Chains A and B, each alone.
Chain A
């Protein structure tokens, strides 16, 4: 999987895509952007777009990379995510396990039905620390606060 820096173009798709004849991966960077921000002992990862077979591995890779060196807390902000498939849930579960093993507190911001619905029907909403806003997730943390991270863009 690519570890290319996240593109800033957001989840837009070019016209004229076909089922066959197109390479499988060029769209992946456009479908999902993952922007990690480190503020003191806190990492906020702002995820925007669609998390599926094509993009979940890259998200997991990017999130895992933020655990070294381990911050005190990592907030995964899914507010801008409009599709979350089971591969994305698996990536979140594996990231949570890795964070726990390193003593990193992991918090997830999920506000829309697109993210809450899959988290809830799989029972993962009970396994993860889910917050309704980034501010709430960061509350009480020793980081520099939410102001250091730009507001999420809606896809």
Chain B
């Protein structure tokens, strides 16, 4: 499943081009570069959506595509719903906060690992504005992700912000998740 967009070469490890080993291996290397120590389950092709313009109408399409993919992972339906909501909140946060002067590019990568986890990574290439001291009626996105994902962490770097989210295939019923963050 390939979404439109180009691969940022810096995300692909040693070199963006493979030696003829094909897209699947490229995807696998991309996911494993984002998640050191993770091994992608080759039975389910990762979902890679890179270079998405962070407009509401386009993020809806990514959400629908992610939902179709997540239904193939073996996660129970409540966890699929949590994954889709959580990932959408991460996308919306990236689109809203990273690019105050207009839509910028957002990336989403999702994969199932051989040790029974489903990983979703959402990255932007901008800078998050610091959250207001009193977010008032807004600012629910990140707390929602913390509540919905079995694990989550946020990495802020020079090139943008990355939200890592994770769900376990086993014991992933509602309410079994414990949020973690750094």
Q: Which residues of B contact A (CB under 8 A)?
A: 3-5, 49, 51-53, 55-64, 78, 81-82, 84-85, 88-89, 92, 95, 137-138, 140-141, 143-144, 147-148, 174
Q: Are A22 and B57 within 8 A (Cβ)?
A: yes
Q: How many residues of A contact B (CB 8 A)?
A: 33
Q: Would you call B81 and A113 a contact (CB within 8 A)?
A: yes
Within the assembled complex, what's the spacing in Å between the Cα atoms of A18 and B64?
A: 12
Check if A19 sits within 8 Å of B49, measured CB to CB.
yes
Tell me how many residue pairs across A and B have CB atoms closer than 8 Å.
Answer: 90
B62 touches A52 (CB 8 A): no
| A52-B63, A52-B88, A113-B81 known; A89-B140 Cβ under 8 A | yes
Asked if A54 is an interface residue, CB under 8 A from chain B, the answer is yes
Is B85 in contact with A53, judged by CB distance below 8 angstroms? no
Choose among A24, A83, A94, A122 the residue that contacts B56 (Cβ–Cβ < 8 A). Answer: A24
B55, A24: Cβ atoms closer than 8 Å: yes
Would B144 and A24 count as touching, CB distance under 8 A? no
Chain A residues lying within 8 Å of B138, measured Cβ to Cβ, are 86, 90
Q: Bound state CA distance, A97 and B136, in angstroms? A: 12
CA distance A114 to B138 in the complex (A): 20
Judging by beta carbons under 8 Å apart, are A18 and B57 in contact? no
Which of B3, B56, B85, B147 is the one whose CB lies under 8 Å from A19?
A: B3
Q: A19-B4, A122-B144 are in contact. Are A24 and B85 (CB under 8 A)?
A: no
B85 partner, pick from A22, A85, A94, A97, beta carbons under 8 A: A85
| Complex interface: chain B residues within 8 A of A23 (CB) | 57
Q: Check if A90 sits within 8 Å of B140, measured CB to CB.
A: yes
A28 nearest in chain B by CB position: B57
In the complex, the answer to whether A113 meets B78 with C-beta atoms within 8 Å is yes
Whether B85 contacts A83 by the Cβ 8 Å rule is yes
How far apart are the CA atoms of A117 and B51 in the complex, in Å?
Answer: 30
Q: Mind listing 22 A-B residue pairs with CB under 8 Å?
A: A17-B61, A18-B61, A19-B51, A19-B52, A19-B53, A19-B61, A20-B4, A24-B57, A25-B56, A27-B57, A52-B56, A52-B88, A53-B60, A53-B92, A83-B63, A83-B85, A90-B138, A90-B140, A93-B137, A113-B81, A113-B174, A122-B147
